[in-house]
Amino acid sequence: MATSNDSSQLPAYLQDENLTEECKELIRTLPTSNGRDWLWTLHLYQGFWFTARHLNGVLLARRHFRAADSDILLVAGPKTGTTWLKAVLFALQKRSCYSEPDRKSNHPLLQKNPHELIPYLEFTLYLKDQDPDLSGLTSPRMFATHMPLGSLP
């Protein structure tokens, strides 16, 4: 079993590589689990425990994300049915695009995972690119997050 000292065995979303300097400096000031109680090290930020990589994504999203009035943001805690909620949200929002019989067979949910259709702010968008260009997304833009209310941008 992987421990916090064996980062090569951890999945990418738990590794501490490529953290911003802002995140590294913040982590030095935060209460930290020692890895004994969990399988990996966690940091207490604004009353919630985050892995370093998740915290890095939260900080980048807070710094760079600017919501549009028409944005739809699905906010749900981990392991609360987010995948299912993303599928329902996408199906409801795009129902007029795929209502004709010949278009139903081309529905994106038949070919893609809901996580590909509605990206996570802190896990997908801001970890891949510190300041992604979201201007090409059609309105209403749909995003998901596991960030607690106090951490939202």
Per-residue pLDDT of the chain (153 residues; tens, 9 = 90+): 444 445 566 666 666 778 999 999 999 999 998 766 667 889 999 999 998 999 999 999 999 999 999 999 999 998 999 999 999 999 999 988 887 776 767 889 999 999 999 999 998 999 888 889 998 999 999 999 999 988 898
Q: Which of 71, 47, 30 is closest to 153 using CA atoms?
A: 71
Query: Is 146 annotated in the active site?
Result: yes
Contacts of 42 (CB under 8 A, 6+ apart): 32, 33, 49, 50, 51
Q: Against a cut of 0.85, is the pTM above it?
A: no
Catalytic residue (choose from 43, 54, 64, 146): 146
Identify which of 60, 25, 20 has the alpha carbon closest to the alpha carbon of residue 43. Answer: 25
